[in-house]
Amino acid sequence: MNGSLLIYNARLVDEATDSPGALLISGGRIQTVFIGDFSNRGKAVGCCKDGTAALYDACGLSLMPAFIDMHVHFRYPGLTEKEDLDTGLHAAVAGGYGTVVAMPNTKPVISFSAQVAEVEKKAAEYGLAHLFQSASITNGFSGTDISHLDTLNAEQVPVITEDGRDVANAAVMLAAMQKAAGKGIIVSCHCEDPSLAAAARPYREKALGLMHRYGVPVKCGDSCGVPLPASVDAEINDALSEANRLLKLAEDTATERNLILAQTAGCRIHIAHVSTEGSIEAVRRAKTARPAGMVTCEVTPHHLALCGTGVPGLRAFVNPPLRSEKDRLALLTALADGTADVISTDHAPHTVSDKAAGAPGFSGLETAFAVCHTILAVRNKFSISQLSTLMSARAARLLHLNRGRLLPGYDADLILVSPGEKWKVESSVFASKGKATPFEGSVLEGKVRMTIVHGEKVYGAGVL
C-alpha cells in the first residue's frame, strides 16, 4: 500500500483501550489514534489532514494489535513434509499472528548465527509474518557442547531453547544460562526430566498399541463413540494414567531445577508450555524472589481448554500431555493474576502418518484466537483487552519489539477480528500442512477477518 490509510468505524482494542475509534497508518507504522465514534465516513475524512489517505471501513469489527507467538514449530529446514515456511507463515497470518518465534528442533538443528540468519532471510521473502529463529542451548542438541553460544547476540537471537527436550546435565545448563545472562538472551526451557520421561514412554506406547488395535480414530479429541471392551478401556486408561503421572512429575521437578539454576546464573528464564499446578506454583514463587521480567512463562490454548480424561483420539496426543481439570483451572488463575505472562500456541504440525503413529503435537495457529476467546472471554469473563495483553503486548515487551499496542509510532501490525462470530473448526481448510487438531468439529467463538503486517494486508478478503 502506498501512502496513508485510515481504518475507521472500528472498535479499537489493546491492553489499555477498548473504544470506538479510527487509526491512521503510514510508512508501516501507526501515525495517529482517534478515539470516538467514527462510524460516519464524512467524519473519518476529517481525520486526514491532507485528505490523501485511503479509507477503509472496518464495519464495527475489532481492530487489535497482531498476535505474537513465542513458540512455533515450522519444521524448516529438513522436516518440510510436516510444515515449511510458506505454509507455516500463511497459517500464522490466518490466525492473526504478525510475529512468531520458531523453534530450532529441525534437521539440522539450528545452533549458529549463520543458520539463524539464513532462515530469517528466507522467511522475510514471503512478506507475511515476521519470524525470529531461536537457537539451541547445546550445539546440535548434543547435551554437552555450548561453545556456539559465544558467537550469539541478543539482537539477532533473543531466545535460546532446547525445545522438544530438556538439557539433562544441570552443570551444562547452568553454564549455558551464565553465558546467556552475560548477553541478555532469554533461556526458554522445555521442562521435562529426561529419565522420568523415559520411564513414562513404555506406558504411553502400550496405550497407543491398544488404541491402534481397537481402532480408536485419529480424528477427534475423544473416542468418537468407538465401542471399546470395558477391560480394554480400563487398560488404556491405566497405562495413560501412569504415563501422565510420571510426565507430570517430570515437568514439576525440571521446572524447579531450571528456576533454581536461572536464579544462580542471573539469566532471564522463560518456562515453555507450563501445564501443571505444581509448575505454576514454582513460577509464582520464583517471580517473587527475582526482579520483574527475569522469570516468565507461557501457557497454551489447548492446556487452557482441554483436560486429559477418558481415552483420547490420537489428534489430542501432545507433550506436555493434557492434564487434570485442577491443573487447567490453575492455569486460568495464573493468567488472571499475572503469574502466566503470555499465551503461545506450541504449533506443532505433523503428517497424517506421523500422527497415526502417535507423534505428540498438533497445529494451533489457526484456532488459537477462537479457542482463547471462547475459553477466556466467553466462559471465564476475561476482557478482550486482557486477551490482547496475553497474546500481543507482553510478548512484544519480552522480545523488545515496537509492537503489540495501538499507539503512535508502533509498527502497523494489526488484525481485524469478529469476536462474536461462531464457526466450526475444519482442519481440511487449514493453511498449515498439519491437519491434526483436538478441536476438530468444535464450534468456537471469535474469528480473525484480516491481518495487516507493516501496514500491508497479508490475510483476508477485500482491498485496503
> What sign does the dihedral 6-100-13-450 (CA atoms) show?
positive
Q: CA–CA distance from 451 to each of 126, 325, 369, 412, 438 (Å)? A: 15, 34, 13, 10, 25
Q: Which amino acid is at 200?
A: A
Q: Catalytic residue at 346?
A: yes
For the chain, the distance separating the N- and C-terminal CA atoms, rounded to the nearest angstrom, is: 8
Of the candidates 424, 327, 331, the residue with the CA atom closest to the CA atom of residue 380: 331
CA-to-CA distance for 111 and 80, rounded, in angstroms?
19
Residues near 354 by beta carbon (within 8 Å), at least 6 away in sequence: 82
Residues in the chain, total: 464
Q: Would strands 29-35 and 17-26 be described as parallel, antiparallel, or unpaired?
A: antiparallel
Residues near 291 by beta carbon (within 8 Å), at least 6 away in sequence: none
> What sign does the dihedral 388-390-395-398 (CA atoms) show?
positive
Cell reading at 183: 548477553
Residue 343's DSSP bridge partners are 299
- Please identify which of the residues 346, 354, 411, 413 carries the catalytic annotation: 346
Of the candidates 63, 65, 45, the residue with the CA atom closest to the CA atom of residue 55: 45
- Coil vs helix vs strand at 298: strand
Question: Which residues are the active-site residues?
Answer: 346
